[in-house]
C-alpha cells in the first residue's frame, strides 16, 4: 500500500482554512509576555537549553515578531522549512518558561503538539519527496498527523485516568462535587464573580447529592476520550466525535470552569472541518438542481 493511499487527502481550500486558523491559534496560545520569576523549576525544553535570554523583554518582543513573520510564511506556504521550526521554537520556549514556574498548565499543550507534528511531518515529507512521493501528500500528511496528535491527547487523558485511579475512575467520580467546589472557589478568587460562584456551587451541591448521575455523565466523557481513535476512521466519525468532544468541553466549562478553549478550536479546525461539509453540501444541492434542469 502506498503512502498516498494511506493518507487521507484534503482539498486546497480545506488546507488553506486549516493553516489560517491554526496560525491564529498558535499566535493566541503563545504567551504574549513573560511575567515570571526566572526559571525556578525547569520543565520540557528549559531542561535542555538555557532560555534565560528570553526573559529580557526586548528579546522576547523580537521573538514575538519572529513568530508573527513565521506564521504568515506558514499560511502562504513560503519557506515552510524555516517558518515551522521558528514558530515551533518560539512557541515551545515561551510556553516552556511559563510552565517552569512550579505549576504545569495543560491548556496550550495541544497547540504545541500539533505544531510539533506538522514540523516533523514537513521534514519527513521532504525526505519522502526525494524518494518520489507527490508534493500534495506532504500537505495532507501535516493535517493527518495533526488529527492523530489530537487523538493522542484525548487517548492519553483517558489512559491516565484508568492508570491513576486503578480503573476506578467512574466509581470515584461520585466525589466530583468536591472538585467542582474547589474549581468554583479557585475561579472566584481570580475575579470575584459572585454569580458565577453561586452557579457553580449549586452544580457542586447537586453533584455531591446525586453522585451516581454525575458518575454516569463522567463515564460518557471517559468513553469519548478512549473512543477518540475512531475519529481517524473517516470524516463522518471525525466530525461526529469532534462535535461530541466540543460539547464535553462546553459542559466542563459550565460545571467546573475548565474551558480548554484551544482543545475546542483544534477539534473544530482539524476534526469538525466545517468548510468541507459546507462545500460538500453546496455541491450536492447544486448537483441536484443541475440534474433537475437537465432531466426531461
Q: Is 95 in the site for another protein (CB under 8 A)?
A: yes
Q: Give yes or no for residue 32 binding another protein (CB under 8 A).
A: no
Q: Which of 52, 129, 205, 290 binds another protein (CB under 8 A)?
A: 205
**255 makes contact with another protein (CB under 8 A):** no
| Minimum distance from residue 65 beta carbon to another protein (Å) | 22
Residues 210-239 that bind another protein (CB under 8 A): 211, 229, 232
Interaction of residue 176 with another protein, rule CB under 8 A: yes
Reading the block at residue 27, the C-alpha cell is 499566535
Q: Is 84 in the site for another protein (CB under 8 A)?
A: no
Q: Which is nearer to another protein, 50 or 292 (CB)?
A: 50
Is 266 near another protein (CB under 8 A)? no
Footprint on this chain of another protein (rule: CB under 8 A): 6-7, 35, 37, 41, 43-45, 47, 92, 95-96, 99, 101-106, 109, 112-113, 116-117, 121, 144-145, 148-149, 151-153, 155-157, 159-161, 163-165, 169, 172-179, 181-183, 185-187, 189-192, 204-205, 208-209, 211, 229, 232, 258
Amino acid at each position: 500500500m502506498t503512502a498516498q493511499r494511506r493518507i487521507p487527502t484534503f482539498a486546497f481550500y480545506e488546507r488553506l482554512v486549516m493553516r489560517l486558523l491554526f496560525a491564529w491559534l498558535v499566535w493566541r496560545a503563545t504567551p504574549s509576555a513573560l511575567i515570571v520569576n526566572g526559571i525556578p523549576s525547569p520543565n520540557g525544553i528549559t531542561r535542555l537549553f538555557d532560555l534565560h535570554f528570553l526573559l529580557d523583554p526586548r528579546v522576547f518582543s523580537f521573538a514575538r515578531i519572529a513568530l508573527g513573520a513565521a506564521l504568515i510564511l506558514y499560511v502562504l506556504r513560503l519557506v515552510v522549512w524555516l517558518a515551522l521550526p521558528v514558530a515551533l521554537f518560539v512557541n515551545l520556549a515561551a510556553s516552556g518558561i511559563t510552565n517552569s514556574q512550579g505549576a504545569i498548565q495543560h491548556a496550550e499543550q495541544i497547540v504545541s503538539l500539533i505544531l510539533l507534528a506538522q514540523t516533523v511531518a514537513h521534514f519527513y515529507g521532504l525526505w519522502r519527496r526525494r524518494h518520489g512521493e507527490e508534493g500534495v501528500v506532504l500537505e495532507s500528511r501535516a493535517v493527518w498527523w495533526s488529527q492523530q496528535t489530537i487523538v493522542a491527547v484525548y487517548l492519553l487523558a483517558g489512559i491516565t485516568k484508568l492508570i491513576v485511579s486503578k480503573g476506578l475512575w467512574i466509581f470515584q467520580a461520585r466525589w466530583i462535587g468536591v472538585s467542582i467546589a474547589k474549581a468554583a472557589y479557585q475561579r472566584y478568587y481570580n475575579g470575584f464573580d459572585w454569580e458565577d460562584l453561586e452557579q457553580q456551587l449549586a452544580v457542586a451541591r447537586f453533584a455531591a447529592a446525586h453522585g451516581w448521575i454525575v458518575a454516569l455523565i463522567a463515564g460518557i466523557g471517559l468513553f469519548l476520550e478512549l473512543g477518540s481513535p475512531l475519529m481517524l476512521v473517516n470524516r463522518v466519525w471525525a466530525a461526529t466525535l469532534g462535535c461530541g468532544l466540543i460539547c464535553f468541553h462546553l459542559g466542563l466549562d459550565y460545571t467546573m470552569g475548565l474551558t480548554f478553549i484551544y482543545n475546542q478550536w483544534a477539534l473544530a479546525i482539524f476534526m469538525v472541518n466545517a468548510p468541507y461539509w459546507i462545500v460538500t453540501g453546496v455541491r450536492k444541492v447544486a448537483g441536484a438542481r443541475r440534474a433537475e434542469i437537465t432531466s426531461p
